[in-house]
Amino acid sequence: MDDPLADDCCSVCRSSFNIPCQANCSHWFCGNCIMEVWHHSSTIQPCKCPLCRRQITLLVPGEASLRRHHDPEVAEIKRKVQTYNRLFGGRSNGLIQRMQDLPFLLRRLLRELMDPQRSLPLVIRARVYIAVK
Ligand SMILES: [Zn+2]
Ligand SMILES: [Zn+2]
């Protein structure tokens, strides 16, 4: 699943997704909403998923929004998400957190291997290597 379900909605704003991003817990949010959640908590710490309360250490924009890369709004969200991933993605959260993230990361990696046209952002690839190391 590279994009949220069409009949699903963002649990933060309760409307349909705008530039959906998937967190490492596999929940989807609008790019803007999850960034709001982060800014309302502490920006020096990763925010927790509003649904499952797991710490969010990775955000991945959906495929549909990535295809709209010429869109300035998408570019803005991508930039914020990359900053977020840089801040919190490289952090070691202990083995348990890494093991929990692994299926998600491997799924993304596997898809990339099956479809070389799609390239996985470098930060995620790095995360996979850190996680399996
Ligand atoms: Zn939203
Ligand atoms: Zn969650």
**Whether pTM exceeds 0.75:** no
pLDDT for position 29:
96
Tell me the C-alpha distance between 86 and 79, whole Å.
Answer: 11
Q: Domain residues of the chain, as ranges? A: 20-132
pLDDT for position 41:
81
- The stretches in the chain having pLDDT less than 50 are none
pLDDT for position 93:
55
Nearest ligand for residue 11 CA: 1
Quote the ligand 1 centre to 116 CA distance (angstroms).
31
Burial class (CB in 10 A: 0-12, 13-18, 19+), 84: buried
Nearest ligand for residue 12 CA: 1
pLDDT for position 1:
52
At 91, give phi and psi (nearest 5°).
-70, 135
Quote the ligand 2 centre to 47 CA distance (angstroms).
11
Q: Report how far apart, in Å, the C-alpha atoms of 29 and of each of 15, 32, 93, 111, 112 are.
A: 10, 8, 22, 22, 23
pLDDT for position 7:
74
Quote the ligand 1 centre to 132 CA distance (angstroms).
32
pLDDT for position 84:
92
